[in-house]
Amino acid sequence: MDAVDVVVVGAGHNGLAAAVHLLARGWSVAVVESRDVAGGAVKTREVTLPGFRHDLCAMNLSMFAGSPFFAAYKDELLAQGLGFVPAVDCFASVFRDHTYLGVSTDLDKTAGGIAALSAKDAEAWRAMVAKFGEDAPHIFGLLGSPMPSLAAARTVWSAWRAKGTAWLYDTARLLLATPRDFLDAHFESPKLKAMMAAWGLHLDFSPDVAGGALFPYLESMANQAFGMVIGAGGADTIIKAMLGVIKSRGGEVRLNAPVAAIETSGGRATGVRLADGTRISAKRAVIANLHPQLVFGNLVAPEASRAAFDARIARFRAGPGTMMIHLALSAPLDWRAGEALRQFAYVHVAPDLAMMTRVYAEAAAGLLPAEPVLVVGQPTAIDPGRAPAGQHVAWIQVRALPATIAGDAAGSIPATSWDEAKGAYAERVLDLLESYAPGLRARILGSAISSPLDLERENPCLIGGDNLSGSHHLDQNFLFRPVAGYSRYATPVGGLYLCGAATWPGAGTGAGSGFMLAKMLAH
């Protein structure tokens, strides 16, 4: 039997971040991964044609670039080949009248676009950006602290000392507000509100869901203040670099090594048994970088004393499903709203709040949305090496979709299984995109479509195609992620810890949960 200090189950970026930090603290580490490639939801492959590199799920690496983990291990990661490509034009939204509004790192450029809609909103945007510069250290300090913890309490105390009681009340309101209420309180232009609100659907917040204001606010302000970055050559640059650091520090990563069971003795995790029968003993801890329902539904034997916890984990609610469409293109998209849109890393096709509300309601009812929300990534606009010279890739994320199809809101797709419906639904997506970017189909050289079911097949942690590993609504966020009383990564099984998107601080590429857990273990 092999023996190490800690076994990390799952080679997603949070698990790899935990491994890096524990190795740096002198622990021996083995990472075991069921797939033949590490990365979880951060993978890059040639899924359409040779020479066209597509980020399968995550594309935006801004959270990683701004993370405490990257700050701590920047030199080692860069030495292992990590590369970022910055976007000057970060994101935009297109509207039904074929105009657009976008956020660029040039504040005057962004504010000028807003001023064409509303001079009052342009001034409000500038004021919000200035205030964000003062507030960001406190907000990110809170989001980067275990929940609850003395570090979080110190952050709140420091914010109160610096900003006063009124600021704490305002921040609490932001954390609890719906996107619509927050945006209505600050702006008047429907187009500006729609541009910001689209970020809510990157998680699972339609315009009227409480707790949904924070992400549109943070993404809008952070992109304006700091810009957006993607990975040089693909999002997997962060995975390759972390694997390199782990190897250089003497850690072990086993691919094609599915775990059959997390073994326990006396109520404590003692190691793992792989599907081939190999046992790896964990002298200090087992870290499961997996969806909690996979851990407590499949890998850990049930115990009567843990029945209440297991039942709560079983009720952990998924967010909406997602479809990914990857296109190899002979030329960039020709947006009707203007050639300048070709330079934006992201273009949202979510023209108004009413449409976003309708999409979410249809998906929640099990219906295929008649007019889906699209997040169109244009990585080769800023990283042309991802495709052959002069050609491009398009990354299309379709949000929000039902995991199980009960019907079609448009009444034209009779299929109720994703394997039968995905082709027809992808055509609906392309029809919609073609209405904003005519000539799209003539540019397509190759395509790859992943339904919500396909995403779960590729990565079992994406249950129902939920790339968030669990809804981020208020009852499953902060102190309640994944369940109340277990937001600090521990479980009722001694020595067994959880990290990943299903744990605080949730989805994204910031490696927060893995890094925070590792720091708590090796303090």
The domain locations on the chain are 2-84+234-316+470-521, 107-226, 317-458
Nearest to 10 by CA among 469, 471, 487: 469
- Report CA-CA distances (Å) from 218 to 57, 130, 158, 199, 360: 21, 13, 20, 9, 21
pLDDT at 1: 56
Q: What's this model's pTM, rounded to 2 decimal places?
A: 0.97
- Per the listing, tokens 């939801």 go with 41
- Over the stretch 125-164, which tens digit does the pLDDT of each residue have? 999 999 999 999 999 999 999 999 999 999 999 999 999 9
Q: Looking at residue 296, what DSSP letter applies?
A: I
Q: What is the DSSP string of 84-122?
A: EEEESEEEEEE-TTS-EEEEES-HHHHHHHHHTT-HHHH
- Over the stretch 284-324, which tens digit does the pLDDT of each residue have? 999 999 999 999 999 999 999 999 999 999 999 999 999 99
pLDDT band at 191 (very low <50, low <70, confident <90, very high): very high
- Over the stretch 87-116, which tens digit does the pLDDT of each residue have? 999 999 999 999 999 999 999 999 999 999
- Report CA-CA distances (Å) from 447 to 49, 90, 119, 398, 501: 8, 25, 42, 15, 28
Residue 384, token pair as written in the block: 């042309």
- Report CA-CA distances (Å) from 184 to 111, 221, 488: 18, 17, 35
- SS3 for 465? helix
User: Residue 324: which H helix or E strand, with range?
Assistant: strand 321-329
d(CA 375, CA 515): 29
Q: Which fold has domain 2-84+234-316+470-521?
A: FAD/NAD(P)-binding domain (3.50.50)
Strand partners, 368: 408
For 317-458, CATH gives: 3.90.660
Question: Is residue 418's pLDDT more than 70?
Answer: yes
